[in-house]
Amino acid sequence: MNIEEQRLVNFSIIERWKKSNKSTVNFCKENNIKRSFFYYWHRKYNDNHKKVNKEKKFIPVNIVKENNLHALEVWYPNGVKVILVDKIDQQTLRTLINIY
């Protein structure tokens, strides 16, 4: 098994644990996994997913024009939507975009 295959196998262990709703201790005991091994791969799994989330961090900004009214919509990854219906300066817009 190459390194990438081993990484995927170990990530699948972490995903199985997440779906199990069991404590780390119980999961490791039931699956005969050393906790040090589990914590090492849990950290790797989290680091990998943070990297993926950072790559997907930018959300497009849409400018909508209805009835001569200009509105700017900012959608955050958590579902929050901010609608700005008046002119806004660049710094305020930058701050709103970088909040998430």
Tell me: do 11 and 48 sit in the same domain. yes
List the 69-75 sheet strands across, edge first.
61-66, 69-75, 81-84
Tell me: do 65 and 43 sit in the same domain. no
Tell me: do 44 and 66 sit in the same domain. no
Number of domains in the chain: 2
Tell me the residue range of the domain where 73 lies.
61-98
The DSSP annotation for 71-82 comes to EEEEE-TTS-EE
pLDDT in tens, the chain (100 residues): 788 889 889 999 999 999 998 999 999 999 999 999 999 999 998 888 776 555 555 556 666 566 666 667 777 766 777 777 777 777 877 777 776 5
Q: pLDDT value at position 59?
A: 59
Tell me: do 10 and 48 sit in the same domain. yes
- The pTM score is 0.51
Tell me: do 49 and 93 sit in the same domain. no
Tell me: do 43 and 73 sit in the same domain. no
Tell me: do 46 and 66 sit in the same domain. no
Tell me: do 41 and 11 sit in the same domain. yes
Tell me: do 7 and 49 sit in the same domain. yes
Strand partners of residue 73: 62, 83
Q: pLDDT value at position 41?
A: 92
